[in-house]
Structure formats: structure tokens, C-alpha cells
Chain A
Amino acid sequence: MTSRKTVLVLGGSSDIGRAAARAFAKAGYDVGVAGRDAAALEPDAADLRARYNIEARTWTFDVLDTASFDGFVAGLPVLPDVVVSIIGLLGVQPSAESDLAHATAIMRSNYEGPSLILGLFAEKFLGRGNGTIVGVSSVAGDRGRASNYVYGSAKAGFSAFLSGLRARASRGGVHVVTVKPGFVRTKMTEGMKLIGPLTVDAPVVGDAILAAVAKKTDVVYISGKWRLVMLIIKTLPEAVFKKLKF
């Protein structure tokens, strides 16, 4: 136990999760990283300890196992100051159109699981009277598009959940950040055609998350360009929008 602040990163094995964990550790936080396979996260925890001389440990957490959430939160030795959820599943849109199990996995991984676990932490934080919740949603949730609306709709639900939670929790001293990365070069997007000027590397997102926590930002678009792009996409009349192929 130290006097340092603590952050818990859910989805710690993702590239953005690793980047966020590094950003917080560099800033002097003790770090917990949680994922389906805690043993696989141990090299990342060792990396944080060696680099930043802080405490880092790993936790097993499965976003689809919602029954385990109460026990997971109760099992933490200390309630963190900040909890960050990077969890998400891009899936394959064409498969999700006919494969209900796949569509369900996308919806649950992007909306149900992250919302429930962050809601649970929010209750604990409100009981304590402080804390910061960070949910990594997506610009894909800003408007359902033909090419990824299963994923997008789940992210839209998650964004709406975070928005409502923020309004409620702010009265109790708890801050909620919604992060909407655009294109990020990660395992998830490997092989996808990304638009260079709109694409960032994972450490940029990690640093942006840390900065948003420090500055109590509400909604973060990683690049200002994305705010503009999504504003245009959101304002297109439906009659025009539905003819677009993207």
C-alpha cells in the first residue's frame, strides 16, 4: 500500500489499455490492469514496475461474465481513484448481420458489460464522494453507419450511458469522461484501411485519457479533426446519409 493514487485499467491487454496504463504509471499512479487472462498481463505489469518504480498488479476480469462483477469489485484491496474501461469488440459487421451470437457478443462487449461495471464503480465512488470513471467509446457511436452499425449502436448505447451517469454523478463529486477515439493503429485495426491524417498511435490516446482525467474533461475526441468529421456526419439529412456506402 502506498500513498500514490491508483488507477484500474479494464481491458489492459489492448494497445490502448497498455498505453493508458503507461501514461498513468508515468504520472506516478499505482496501476491495476485487468483482462481475461491475468497471467498474460504480467509482463505488462512488470514493465510498469521496472520503468516507473510504482506498484502494478494484474486482475482477471471477463466483461461477458456480468455475474462476477460484484465479486470483482468487492475483491479489490483498495477502491481505485480512477477506473478506465478500454474494453470493446469490433467484430465483423457482415457476420453480425446474420449470426446472432456474434452480434450479441459485440453488443454485450461494447455496451452491456462496460456500462454495468462502470456503473458499479460509480456507486462505490459516489459512496466515497470522489473518483473518476473513464469509458472509451467510439466515434462509431455518433451515428449508425451501414458498414458497422452493430458495433456503432452498442457504442452509442455506451456513450448515452456515460452521458447520463456523468450528469448524475457530477453532483456527488464523481467525474465521468467519455473518450471517442477515431482511427487508432492497434491490433484491433490491423489490416484495416485507415485514413492517415485521421489516425493516431495508441500512446496518443493513453496520454489524452490521462490529460482528460487531470482536466476533468467530459467528452474527448482524440483529434479535433474527428469532432468536425462527426459533426458533418451527424448533420447530414437521413435522405442523403442512407445513400452513403461507408
Chain B
Amino acid sequence: MAQTTQYRSLKNNEVQALTGQGCTSDDWSRVQVAEPFDTARLRNTQFSGDVRIGAVGGSAASTTGLAKPAGIYNAYVADCTIGDNVRIANIGSHLASYDIGDNTCIEDVGTMQTQPGAAFGNGVEIEVLNEGGGREVILFNELSSQIAYLMCVHRYRPKFIEKLTAIARSAASAVKGNRGSVGTDVRISSVKRIVDVNIGDHAVIDSAASLVNGTVLSAEDAPTTVGADVQAEKFIIGEGSQVTGGAIVSKTFVGQGCQIGKQFSAENSAFFANCEGFHGEACSIFAGPYTVTHHKSTLLIAGLFSFYNAGSGTNQSNHMYKLGPLHEGKLERGSKTGSFAYMMWPCRVGPFSVVLGKHKGTFDTSDLPFSFLDATPTGKCSLIPGLNLSTVGTVRDGAKWPTRDRRKGVVKRDRISFDVFSPLTVGRMIRGSAKLAEIHEKTEKTVDSINFNGADIKRVLLRTGQKFYRSGIHMYLLEKVLSRIEQAQGNALSKALASSPDAVYSEDWLDIGGQMMPRKRLDDLCADVESGKIADLNALNAALDKVHAAYADDEWVWVKRAYKQVFDQDVDTMSQEDVGKVAEDLLAVNGKFLRVILGDASKEFGEMTQTGFGHDGQPDDVAVDFEAVRGTYETNKFVKQIEEQIKALEGRVEKFKAQVASA
């Protein structure tokens, strides 16, 4: 509402008119109005306490978009400040202790009230990741995936946690108050109960069942929707999100650009940017950016996920009737679970892996990213290292995430590193490859399979895994060097290959709630929090932003060290000839990779895939039906993209080699 609004007391004739229209007040002198004021816009309303009413000459849009006259009709309004051109109509019980922004429409609401000392979901502690507690995340409006991750996961840094908790509590307490707020252009209708809930600008609350102790963050450029039959308590919902379709949300944080609905239920869980939860259930999960679960009978429990897609019927167990729900599990970024995949926690799955089957044992495959994990009939994990590197799904996922960022607002709280190939994943490949080589060396040829941290790997696949990883490592390092030189056109080679003086190197990289960084960056940040150098939320966010901004520089330093380690060549002293060789090698390794991807894609059009097509027809109808529905390999959009990528790569390398030759 406008800060400059001038209010005045009601005139006697206005009080008389209002009384004649069924309005009452304990004390009319405590009801103030702004100009223009029209008594006809206030009917059948009881006023209690201090009520300020803005201009009522215009109209406000309802949830259906229909513009209706501003004013107050059939309501009990207590201690509220109401902005200009607000419509409040048909309040069953009361509307109390709210500041309401301009052009807002509140209709058919049972109770809407703020109680003294309301916290609006801020300060609520949720038992994320470990259902038994001990990893509580404190909710506050500005909570990011990074801060939540550190608060939840890094409990082995007690001093840091103590300071971080203080920062979170300070941020949470800043919103505590006796009055709630509803922003401008908000549309609320047919809600039974809204108690202690702040609602941001342009939010739509349509037919929700009950909202208690929470905040709906919303902005003009990222409006938020809370829809039909939603029950939410102790919650914060971020800008641009949609919580709809009878979702039940309790002690839960829903970040920006999320979609929760179709009767999904979530408890003690945190969802960050662009998560989607439909039909299923989440209990004590940390859903990092792009965690997606769409199917009924899917239970995600006591787990850490990000860039994750849950197959139907996916579920996990976090206790076995011993000491309670103590166990937790981690599926690192980019992992997927197939239909009815089950894991008995504790387990840890390395990045970009696929998990199928019913796993009844504990395993840790974090050093074997891009792997394929199936379960034997006895529930033992059987793993093919690196197989997922060359599957069409991984490539498609990597391309789709950045294009599906639904966060449209200016403020994007979660810092997201999208790269599939990065120092994190390639570092793991280097480490994994070395381990596979070591085991392969030591294993007799008579051995059928070996055990790797709880997962069985067939001996012959130890070598295959190394081959897969070698391709991935080479492709990444060669691509980074080549693109670095390409981007620095016109500069001397040595300058193009130089590192930033501010870059930080760590062999080990971490994925902090979707933000990748060298370990040293995080250690420094944590030390600054512990020492008090970073003492408030603004400083912490600034530090995380700085780390995020340094990603490319830090990555380059890492690439150079890894290049030396893998190819035994110093990038800084590369000659033009060496650079030409980089281009040729990239063409070979990347071209081969893309052809393997195409080969994998072609399986989607094979004879076996056509099973069930041509139903009720003749044998010849199978292919015709399949083509009508799925198209052909040759015309498939993704296949064409990959083919174009191969051509582009060839053209790029040719151009580069010509440039090098003429230099």
C-alpha cells in the first residue's frame, strides 16, 4: 500500500450511512478512511479495533480474473490496514491483524488472522535427512539450498553450525510480529483458514483448505499459487512456485519455481529450485534443485537428492525396527531410480547413476559416477561402472535442466552449477578409474566378480569402467582446453591459457546443495563464519555468491592440474602444434562419444522397442504404427541434434586447426 496514504476519520453522515448499510463498530473513531471514499462500498461489515481503509473507488481482480468493485462486504474486520482498491467480501468468521496491499481481493474466506508473536513459518526447525533428528534445518524466508545443505549435512563442524544457526535464527526472528501482511495484487478466495501466514505480492490463494504458520513468498515477476484443498502448516513457499491439488505440506520448505501438487504430501522436508512433487510422499528429505517425483506409491524418505528423477514406486527404508529411523541415504546429483527401485539405507550413490531393483544391502558408489546399479535376486548391488556416461538419457538430462529453470524473478536464492562434466564428476572419474585399475591388477582372472564398497562388479567390467571413464575424462579436459583457446581469440596462447590470480585449487570438489566448488573455498567460508568474519545473512550470501562467480576460474585451475596428471603435459607451455593435437584428439574422443550416444538412441527405434505396436493389425502394421506414434530414428529431434553436434564439432575442429596453421 502506498506509504503516503492520508487517512481521515469518518464523518457523522458517513457513519450514519454505514450503519444504515448494516455496518457496526466498537468505536467508529478508530475506523479511518482515505480518499476517494464511498460509503456504498462498505456493507454488512463489523469493524473492531483500529481499521484503516484505503481508497475504494476502483476495482480488484478476483482469482478468476474478474474485476469486482473494491470495498468491504459481509465481513468482520479487526485491526487491519487495508490498501487502495482492495476488495474484501464474505468473510465467514473474521479478518484480523493484517496489513493488506493495494488492489488485493480477499473473498469467501473463513478465518484470516494473525496471532500475537506470529513467526510466519520462520524459525520452524525441520528434521531433514535424518528422521530421528540431529540435522535440523531452521526455516527462514531467505533460506537457500546452500545454507540449508550446510546446516543439515555439515554437522561435523560444530562451531560453524553454532554460528550458522545463530545467523538463521536472526533472519527468522526478523519477521516475527503481531501483524501479518498480504502484498499488492494478491487474490485470495474460498479458503477456510489462514492463520499466521504472510502472503507476498501477486500471489493467488485459491480454494486452499488451511494455511497455518507460514509464508507465501511471491513477486510480480514470480507470482506464487496455492491451490485447491492444500493443507499447509509450518511452511515457507518460495516465489514462482505452485502448491496445488490437495497437497499436504507440513514442516516443509518449498523453494523457488517448484511445483507440488496432485495430492503429494511432504513432511519435514526441504525442496529447492525447480523441484516437482506429485502424487507421492516425501518424509525428511533434502530435495536439492531439480528433484522430481511424479508417481503414486513413490516414497522418498530420509534422503538427499538433487537433479534426481524418481521412478514410480521408488522407495527407501531408513530403519529396521532396531533403534528407530536412524539411517539416511544420498543419491548424488543427476541420479535416477527406476520403477520400484528400493534401497535400504544407509547407501550412497555416486553422481549421474541409475539405480534399478530392490537393494537390501549397504553400498557406497560415490567414487564411481555415471554407473548402472541393479540388484541381484538376493538384493545385492551389482554395478557396471561408468555405463551411464554414454547413455542418451544422461545427455538429454544435462541439456534440459538449464532450459527448465522456472525461477523468473530477479532474486534467485539457490546457486546452481548445471555442468554434467565438472571437476566434481571428472575428479570422481579419475579417482574411480584409479581404484578400478588397482583392483583389476590385483584380481585373478578366475574371479568372476569383486566387491567394491558393498557393490559387486564383474571382473571383466573393471576394464570396461576404466575405458568409459577414460573417454569422459579426456573429452572434458580436451574440450576445456580447446574452448579456452577459442574464447581468447586474438590473445597470445600463453595469455589465453593463464589462470586467474584469484583462482583457488582443490583436487577435491564438493556439491553444496547444487553449487559446485573446490573444497578449499568451502573450508575458507566455514572458517570465516566460525571466526565471526561472516556474521550475518548478507555477508554469508555475498560469500557464497563470490564462490559461485569464481566457478569458471577455479575450474580452469583444476583442469590444468588434471590435464598434467592425465596427459603428462603442462597446459601453460603448450605450443601451437600441441593445441592442434588437442583439437584432433577432441574430435576423435568426442566424435566417438556422440556416435555411442546415437547408437544408444537407435535402440529406442529397434525391433524390440516396437513390441506391442500394430495392435489388432497385421505384422506389417507394427512398423507403420510405431512410425506414426514415435517417428523414425532419422527424423527424431534429439538424434538430429546429436548429428548436428557431430558436424559442428568437425567444423569447429577444422576451423581451429586452420587458425593454428596460419598463426
- A, B in one complex: no
Which B residues are within 8 Å of any A CB, using their own CB? none
